[in-house]
Structure 1
C-alpha cells in the first residue's frame, strides 16, 4: 500500500513540476515573440519616418526654389500644396515613431528633425536653405543613430 501511495505522490509531483516548467517556457516564448514583434514595428516605423522626412525635405527645398523662381505662380503654388501633402505623411510617420519608441533622446531628435524640415522653406537665401537642409539631414542621422540600438 505504501508503494502505491508513493507512486501516486511521485506521479502528482512530476505532473506539477512538468506543468511549472512548461508554463515558464510558454511565458518566455510569448515574451520573445512580443519583443520581436515590437522590434519589427520599430524598424518599420523608423524607416518609414526617415523616408517620409527625406521626401518632405526634398519637397520643402523644391517649394523654396519654385517660390524663388516665380513667387505666387502656379508652379510655386503646386510645390506648396505638394509640400503640405509630404508634411502630412512625415507627421503621421513621426506619430508612429512616438508610439513605439521608448528612448527619450531619440524621440526629441525625431521631433527636431521634423521641425527643422518644416521650417526649411522659410530660408532667406540659398546659403540659408542649404544650411537648414544640412541641419535637418544631420538631425535625422542623429535620430537614426540614437534609435538603432533599440532594434538590434
Structure 2
C-alpha cells in the first residue's frame, strides 16, 4: 500500500512540475514573441518617419525655390500644396512614433526634427535656407541615432 501511495504522490508531483515548467516556457515564449513584434513595428515606424521627413524636407526646399523664382506662380502654388501633402504624411508618421516609442528623449528628437523641417520654407535667403536644410538633416540623423539602440 505504501508503495502505491508513494507512486501516486510521485506521479502528482511530476504532473505539477511538468505543468509549472510548461507554463513558464509558454509565458517566456509569448513575451519574446511580443518583444520581437514590437521591435519590428518600431523599425518600420522609425524608418517610415525618417523617410517621410526626408521627403518633407525636399518638398520644403522645392517650395522655397519655386517661391523665390516666381512668387504666386502656378509652379510655386503646386510646390506649396505638395509640401502640405508631405507635411501631412510626416505628421502621421510622427504620431506613429509617439505611439510606439517609450523613450521620451527619442520622442522629443522626432518632434524636433519635424519642427525644424517644417520651418525650412520660411527662410529669407539662400544661406538661411541652406542652414535650415542642414539643421533638418542633422535633426533626422540625431533621431535615427537615438532610435537605433531600441531596435537592435
TM-score range, shorter chain: over 0.9
User: Counterparts of 2:144 and 2:104 in 1: how far apart (Å)?
Assistant: 13
**Which residues of 2 match residues 48-63 of structure 1 at below 5 A?**
48-63=48-63
Q: Which residue of 2 aligns with 1:41?
A: 41
Give the match for residue 143 of structure 1. 143
Looking at structure 1, the residues matched to 82 and 39 of structure 2 have their Cα atoms a distance apart, in angstroms, of 32
Which residue in the other structure is 1:24 paired with?
24
- Name stretches of at least 5 consecutive residues in structure 2 with no aligned partner: none
TM-score computed with the length of structure 2 as normaliser: 0.99
Deviation of 1:43 (Å): 0.1
Q: Per-residue CA shift, 1:27-47, capped at 9, x if unaligned? A: 000000000000000000000
Q: What's the CA shift string for 1:41-65, capped at 9, x where partnerless?
A: 0000000000000000000000000
Residues 3-152 of structure 1: pairs in structure 2 closer than 5 A: 3-152=3-152
Runs (4+) of structure 1 exceeding 2 A deviation are none
Q: CA–CA distance in 1 between the matches of 2:101 and 2:136?
A: 20
> TM-score, normalization: structure 1?
0.99
